Amino acid sequence: MEKNAIVGQSGGPTSVINSSLAGVFQACSMRGAPRVYGMLNGVQGLLEERVCDLTERLSSYMDIELLKRTPSSFLGSCRYKLPEPDEDESVYIKLFGILEKLGIGYFFYIGGNDSMDTIGKLSEYGKRTGSDIRFIGVPKTIDNDLMLTDHTPGFGSAAKYIGVVMKEIIRDATVYGNRFVTIVEVMGRNAGWLTASAALARGEDCEGADLICLPEIPFHIDRFLEKVERMQKEKQSVVIAVSEGVKLPDGRFVCELSDDHRTKDAFGHINLTGTARYLSNLVARNMPTRSRAVELSILQRCGAHISSRTDITEAFQVGGAAAKAAFEGKTAMMVALDRLSDDPYQCTTKLVDIKEVANYEKKVPVEWINEQRTDMTQEFLSYARPLIQAELTPIFINGLTQHIVGV
């Protein structure tokens, strides 16, 4: 008798993480898994035996179509760090006991760096204890910072969102013809891929951002103020994209200079909001100009009304490729995207060793940032442009986008 499959979603949500869920679900069902279970709130929920039966819940074609268009994590998410097995084996004994009870042979986790750490630890423990469960990671993160994959599902849609809203912000910021500095804060803790996507806005109908600040380049407050002052001598309205993760030369995040209260997640990451607000206040205090901070915040993660169809399709494909790998006996792997060419854009999937992905971060190559450290080069644009192509029209009901919810 064929074994059942289980799938979980973990970390920050994206616009297309549910498309990967749909890919895993369909491929496992087609390959003969009698039941496909979903972990509610990832491994944390699994430890409390909170699971749902997706085979029952996703029973129609319409469910799958809605799932592909529904942002955020259908199954709920968690930021939960598994202990090292040598420190606390009881968690593993409990988890493997639950998996055995559910008759699981295939385990999928859709997530970013921290989630790949979970797959790494579970597969290692499984190997050590002779379990035949296969553990496969499915990449996801708007931050695009996973190693060994050309890009991550979720990034293309967030980059498209940022490109679109930057164009709209730039139109708004120029309307009065007065001195104005607009500072737009973009997510991305240590890697500036998303902030770099602000460069996509420039085109024949848009002058583009005037300054792009990534966490890869140390941020000097005095030089920043000088630059803004200089730019405003040439242009009344200056629009700046700044990463939430920009750091001072001493390694502190710029937002830590503000006196906002900060909390930490289970992985010890502090929450980084407030960079744009801090810089905007500084500008207004030091120059005769109005300044406004725009925090894109969670809007950029779940803006599924403007998803990239390329991204949705690839998210679905990596889910399917994960199921194929597991059913072919692979374990301790992550599915990666392998770009064959930029133009025409062609991309396929491959498998990479989970140990080489978990807990590493891929940064924006500094050669893709211009010499003045104000903008991105053509290499970045050629890399990012294919990922934002095409749209999948949302299903509108009563004037609003329709989602599938409620497991």
The catalytic residues are 143
Stretch that binds ligand F6P, among 140-148, 278-286, 304-312, 314-322 (CB under 6 A): 140-148
Cross-strand partners of 253: 247
For ligand F6P, the closer of residues 115 and 349 by Cβ is: 115
Residue closest to 362 by CA, chosen among 90, 49, 144, 111: 144
CA 277 to chain centroid, in Å, comes to 23
Q: How far is the CB of 189 from ligand F6P (least distance, A)?
A: 4
Residues 31 and 134 sit within 8 Å (Cβ to Cβ): no
Of 93 and 270, the one with the shorter C-beta distance to ligand F6P is: 270
Cα angle, residue 312 at apex, residues 115 and 15 outer, rounded to 5°: 60
Q: In this chain, which stretch among 25-33, 86-94, 124-132, 136-144 interacts with ligand F6P, using CB under 6 A? A: 136-144
What is the secondary structure of 21-90 as a DSSP string? Answer: HHHHHHHHHHTT-S-EEEETTHHHHHHTT-EEEHHHHS-SHHHHHHHHH--S-TT-----PPPPTTT-TH
Q: Single out the segment in contact with ligand F6P by CB under 6 A; choices: 35-43, 137-145, 321-329, 387-395.
A: 137-145
92 or 193: CB nearest ligand F6P: 193
Per CB under 6 A, does 272 bind ligand F6P?
yes
Number of residues that bind ligand F6P (CB under 6 A): 12
Nearest alpha carbon to residue 51 among 17, 75, 25, 72: 75
Sort residue 83 into left (φ over 0), alpha (ψ -120 to 50) or beta.
Answer: beta
x-marked contacts with ligand F6P along 226-265 as a string, rule CB under 6 A:
---------------------------------------x
Per the DSSP assignment, residues forming a β-bridge with 237 are 180
Cβ 17 to ligand F6P shortest distance, Å: 10
Our finding on whether 23 is near ligand F6P (CB under 6 A) is no
Residues 177-196 that bind ligand F6P (CB under 6 A): 187-189
Q: Does 11 bind ligand F6P (CB under 6 A)?
A: yes
- Nearest distance from C-beta of residue 278 to ligand F6P, angstroms: 16
Q: Which is nearer to ligand F6P, 265 or 342 (CB)?
A: 265
Least CB distance to ligand F6P at residue 155 (A)? 10
Among 3, 10, 12, 274, binds ligand F6P (CB under 6 A): 12
Q: Is 252 exposed, middle or buried (0-12, 13-18, 19+ CB in 10 A)?
A: exposed
- Does the footprint of ligand F6P cover residue 41 (CB under 6 A)? no
Among 5, 21, 142, 200, binds ligand F6P (CB under 6 A): 142
SS3 content of the chain, % helix, strand, coil (to 5): 40, 20, 40
Q: For residue 95, how far is the Cα from the chain centroid?
A: 27
Residue closer to ligand F6P (CB basis): 258 or 402: 258
Q: Among all residues, whose Cβ is closest to ligand F6P?
A: 12
Q: Which of 324, 323, 322 is nearest to 334 (CA)?
A: 322
| SS3 of residue 272 by DSSP | coil
Q: 258 vs 289, which CB is nearer to ligand F6P?
A: 258
Between 189 and 202, CB nearer to ligand F6P: 189
CB of 265 to ligand F6P, least distance (A): 5
Contact 194, 158 (CB under 8 A): yes
Q: Is 143 in the site for ligand F6P (CB under 6 A)?
A: yes
303 touches ligand F6P by CB under 6 A? no
Q: Is residue 145 exposed (0-12), middle (13-18) or buried (19+ Cβ within 10 Å)? A: buried
Q: How far apart are CA 272 and CA 291, in angstroms?
A: 20
Which residues are near ligand F6P by CB under 6 A? 11-12, 141-143, 187-189, 265, 271-272, 301
